[in-house]
Structure 1
Amino acid sequence: MSKVNVQHVNYQNLGWQSAADLYLPPDFDETKQYPAIVSTHPIGSCKEQTSGNIYAKALAEAGYVALAFDASFQGESGGSPRFIEDPSIRTSDIRFAIDYLVTLPYVDPERIGAIGVCGGGGYTIHAAITDHRIKALTSITGVNFGRLIREGFSEFDPVSALQAMGKQRTAEAQGAERHVIDYLPASVEEGRANGITDRDVLEATDYYKSARGQQPNGATSGLFSFNSAAMGWDAFLNAESLLTQPLLVVTGDKPGAFGAYRDSWEIYGRAASKDKQIFVAEGYSHYDLYDKSEPVALAMAEILPFFERHL
């Protein structure tokens, strides 16, 4: 039985190159045309983690061409300074991924879909609002990073956070060292020792900081002084009028501080899509849907029929 073929590719972004893994179906035939899906990784993640080795791989096994890419300024993609997490550029990255796919003779440009995990789910929604080359989309435990940074990441004091970011950016412009923050503790044990009890933070640490999900480019890092770009951003802006494509929202029912459960229900309600559905994986959390076999299988049992209908 033939296996999924993964090709490492590079393509032009704004002023730098994007790096991506292109997952091709078993028995791939370059003389045929295939539906294609862009897979967008979470904040602080990389293409080798859940967006690639779990979801893009599963989609390719089902007969899709799937592209999992590294965000600009992160992973193997270009751009400087490193570790910028700018929602506008993250959304633009998805558009450039589509630009690349439509140049491939074996991709049907009228059958392009998109998925995203965690923050990548929010970015996928935002991209689809204004890029209707995306014919159908799925948000997997999606998070609106703008809301998250205004709330939990700024300790519910966004104005003070903005002032601190501004001071740091001024200092860096004048020659100070870049301040790169790690969104997570070094280990679950360290997190608990520091009083962290939230499910999402501890489960994220278990995924990103252990052999379970750790990858060299899964840095879980952000450039503090540039995080101000997310403060005024809303992943769901204009969804009520412009998000008309078929939409599938997948979430677990165990909420945590990152807010995927809340955000999933919000976009499900706000989207103008006539064909929209939400699937709640009962008994599972945000990070269970990253790589654990049972919840991922439940998600894929919804995702594959959804894309079969629309692509």
Structure 2
Amino acid sequence: MGIIEERVVFKSHNVDVVGVLRKPDNKDGEKLPAIVSVHPVSGSKEQTAGLYAEKLAQEGFVTLAYDSSHQGESLADPEYVENPFYRVEDVRSAVDYLTTLDIVDNDRIGAIGICAGGGYATSATMSDRRIKALGTVVGVNFGRFSRESDVTPDAAIRDLEKIAELRTNEANGAKPFVTQYIPNSPEELKESGIEELDVKEAVDYYRTDRGISENSPNKWRYSGSAGLYTFDAFFPAEDLLTQPLQIVAGDVPGAFGSYRDAFDLFNRARSSEKDLHIVKGATHYDLYDQPEPVDEALSKLVPFYNKHL
């Protein structure tokens, strides 16, 4: 199926958000189902969110992948923040945009999110009834991860104290403190001595030719992170997540916790139609771009969206 790609801009809390809209070559002119594709923390529309968006467009869906507000091509002050409330509002704003398009059937809009994008898409789906079906691929509850990634006692409180100090400094004229999510290169990873699987594979994906993108610069304004520590991407799924749900994860666990979060979301979701599919032998990052795991994920996602959108 032929696909038409178009660079688009839409507003999210007064920020210009830049996305890639993919439309099947729709010669008959009928309205089509549409899917918002939400990228991971530190990611961009050119990476795994764009890959899934392209694959789904080839199956007949209008898709929209975008750089989250304050990041990538959607950079705005405050730059490089990872604010969960911005990220969730971006999903709702992407749905707003899709409803303005003549090609889209407004009653058949879904969402897909990868890694932390899966958590943000989940939160948005609970609060936006226009989203009729939700898919997650190695979805991560990034609030849970922020609170628990450092297991030393009171680590989250120390983080928040540091963030408070940074905010005070910046409010009084200091240059914003911009750090990085992961080592900036395989060489820097080797020097760090980090051996954890997800971190090693993150470097291989984000900081080599495999997945590197100029819109994913590995920059993080740490003072903008306070909201992560009180955020639960899956709250209150027990009450509000009633839409059909397809969860995909790999069975090789890593520090980011997507295997664990897949079961947590499945168990918590109120959805009467929900499915959890585990890709055997797949790591977190295998499901970003490796052909066989991605094809297996799509073998569940495409029929799911065809049924529910």
* Normalised-by-shorter TM-score class: over 0.9
Change (3 A) 1:295 1:155: farther
Q: Deviations over 1:157-215 (max 9, x none)?
A: 10011001100111011111111111111223422332211110000000000000001
Preserved contact between residue 43 and residue 220 of structure 1 (Cα < 8 Å): no
Preserved contact between residue 36 and residue 112 of structure 1 (Cα < 8 Å): yes
Counterpart amino acid of 1:180? V
Normalising by structure 2, what TM-score?
A: 0.97
Q: CA deviation at 1:16?
A: 1.9
State the alpha-carbon separation in 2 of the partners of residues 232 and 30 from structure 1. 48
Preserved contact between residue 30 and residue 106 of structure 1 (Cα < 8 Å): no
Aligned to 1:215: 213
Q: Deviations over 1:126-154 (max 9, x none)?
A: 10111111100101100111011112168
Q: Secondary structure at the match of 1:234?
A: coil
Counterpart amino acid of 1:175? G
Q: Secondary structure at the match of 2:169?
A: helix
Is it true that 1:152 corresponds to 2:152 in the alignment? no
State the alpha-carbon separation in 1 of the partners of residues 250 and 53 from structure 2. 20
How many residues get paired? Answer: 308
Q: CA deviation at 1:301?
A: 0.4
Preserved contact between residue 9 and residue 22 of structure 1 (Cα < 8 Å): yes
Q: CA deviation at 1:3?
A: 3.2
Unpaired runs of 5+ residues, structure 2, are none
State the alpha-carbon separation in 2 of the partners of residues 247 and 285 from structure 1. 21
1:43 alignment partner, one of 26, 41, 44: 41
Is it true that 1:173 corresponds to 2:167 in the alignment? no
Preserved contact between residue 23 and residue 60 of structure 1 (Cα < 8 Å): yes
Is it true that 1:85 corresponds to 2:82 in the alignment? yes
State the alpha-carbon separation in 1 of the partners of residues 12 and 127 from structure 2. 18
Q: Deviations over 1:261-296 (max 9, x none)?
A: 111110000000000000100001000000010100
Is it true that 1:65 corresponds to 2:73 in the alignment? no
Q: CA deviation at 1:155?
A: 5.8
State the alpha-carbon separation in 2 of the partners of residues 30 and 72 from structure 1. 34
State the Cα RMSD in Å.
1.3
State the alpha-carbon separation in 2 of the partners of residues 190 and 155 from structure 1. 24
Change (3 A) 1:253 1:7: same
Aligned to 1:10: 9
Q: Deviations over 1:197-249 (max 9, x none)?
A: 11100000000000000010112322111111111010011100100000001
Aligned to 1:19: 18
Q: Secondary structure at the match of 1:283?
A: coil
Preserved contact between residue 154 and residue 161 of structure 1 (Cα < 8 Å): no
Preserved contact between residue 126 and residue 235 of structure 1 (Cα < 8 Å): yes
2:196 alignment partner, one of 191, 195, 198: 198
2:120 alignment partner, one of 116, 119, 123: 123
Unpaired runs of 5+ residues, structure 1, are none
1:285 alignment partner, one of 283, 288, 295: 283
State the alpha-carbon separation in 2 of the partners of residues 272 and 138 from structure 1. 15
